[in-house]
Chain A
């Protein structure tokens, strides 16, 4: 032991020194560094979690936006369809009304035309009869009295009326 230089006091001092060094390093090195590493790990974990949350939120917002856009699009489509339908209906109505009125006008006009024609015909018939009577009386005034004449003409007119 002597030759190797081993000395109990010196041995004790090296153990003591080591213990002192361990305590000093514990307070000045290991504890702060490990704490810092732990804190940093925690911070990174937190940061990653936050980033993940933000990504989720962004995706949800995107989805919301998408959904709203789709809804708006659908609504717009519905409104356009409704408007188109209403316009179509209005057009139909207007058209049918116009058609009806036109028909009524035409019918009225026809009626009037018929009436006037009948009137004219009646007037004409009266005048023709008179003329005929006049003419006939002048031609055959000697053979027939007036009553027989009138009768003859009435018959004639009835024939013509039935022709009409």
Chain B
């Protein structure tokens, strides 16, 4: 008991000392709340083929993420061994895990879906985690900007910014995901088979058949029912179309929102408790970064699988 008591006491003293130290450090080195901008900031202007192109900090980080991934890939695969070790082991396990997941969802389209799903996952994951690196916020270029009141303010434009906190990246990824979903859907079901989902004329066809067809003619009630079904089919098709559009928005804003909010949270926490206390939040953001990458990839996979499956159940009913 004496020993336990002394150990508890020791830990308490360490905790209090750490808190006091953190507060003292925060007093000594106060952290400014950074300017939070939804839009990425341009850091350079590039003229390419007569086109002026502004390189934003998030674009630069995109290139960094791509570079990292490609370097990792080359480092792993330039000399592969039948008996893997070290890096090769890790990368193989990762690729196999993603491939296994794709295969679980869609057995015979796995080869087709896998590159897109895996690339989305890896790119988003690296983007999210890059944003957590310590030099991402503070490393930048000072600019003088006129504020609304007309005063000249010095603003730090960060050199790097996680691509996931730039809507251009997330909307781009969402567009790719949704577009490829349509492409695979058409590949699997044919143009009419796939787009029939959005413009469902089967009910209308039945109604016209009943109106102008040979006997047995239907009564007024039957005709009304058919008309209602035709309207319902068209309406459901419209809903499908809207949900397809909504996917783009939900994909892009989910990723953007989570990661952007995470970085704002980290900035605020760093402003309030610069030392020690932001650690748990950093861990949380590592987790959120993984989860968001996983969610983006897995939703892409599921939507693709659904698009290629057609709607057999409805056809059985009809």
Say whether, besides A10-B168, A36-B80, A15 and B95 are in contact (CB < 8 Å).
Answer: no
Q: Does B302 contact A (CB under 8 A)?
A: no
Say whether, besides A17-B62, A17-B63, A26 and B115 are in contact (CB < 8 Å).
Answer: yes
> B77 and A6: CB pair below 8 A?
no
Q: Does B243 contact A (CB under 8 A)?
A: no
B113-138 interface bits toward A, Cβ cutoff 8 Å, 1 = contact, 0 = none: 01110110011000000000000000
> A29 and B77: CB pair below 8 A?
yes
- Nearest Cβ on chain B to A1's Cβ, whole angstroms: 9
B86-128 interface bits toward A, Cβ cutoff 8 Å, 1 = contact, 0 = none: 0000011001100100000000000000111011001100000
> A25 and B118: CB pair below 8 A?
yes
Interface 9-mer from B66-74, B148-156, B281-289: B66-74
> B91 and A33: CB pair below 8 A?
yes
Complex Cα–Cα for A9 and B55 (A): 11
Q: Does A7 contact B (CB under 8 A)?
A: yes
Interface 9-mer from B170-178, B196-204, B205-213, B305-313: B170-178
Using CB atoms, name the residue of chain A closest to B92.
Answer: A33
Q: Does B280 contact A (CB under 8 A)?
A: no
> A18 and B80: CB pair below 8 A?
no
Q: Does B39 contact A (CB under 8 A)?
A: yes
- Residues from chain A with Cβ under 8 Å of B84 in the complex: 36
Interface 9-mer from A37-45, A60-68, A75-83, A141-149: A37-45
Say whether, besides A5-B166, A17-B62, A34 and B38 are in contact (CB < 8 Å).
Answer: no
> B123 and A18: CB pair below 8 A?
yes
Complex Cα–Cα for A4 and B96 (A): 37
> A6 and B95: CB pair below 8 A?
no
Q: Does A134 contact B (CB under 8 A)?
A: no
A-B contacts, 24 of them at CB < 8 A, read: A3-B38, A4-B39, A10-B56, A10-B168, A12-B172, A13-B53, A14-B171, A15-B172, A21-B66, A22-B119, A24-B73, A25-B69, A25-B115, A29-B73, A29-B95, A33-B76, A33-B77, A33-B95, A33-B96, A34-B95, A34-B99, A36-B80, A37-B99, A43-B82
Chain A residues in the interface with B (C-beta under 8 A): 3-7, 9-15, 17-22, 24-26, 28-30, 32-34, 36-37, 39-40, 43
- Given A11-B168, A24-B73, A29-B73: 10 more A-B contacts, CB < 8 Å: A4-B39, A11-B172, A14-B172, A18-B123, A18-B173, A25-B73, A28-B77, A33-B95, A36-B92, A37-B92
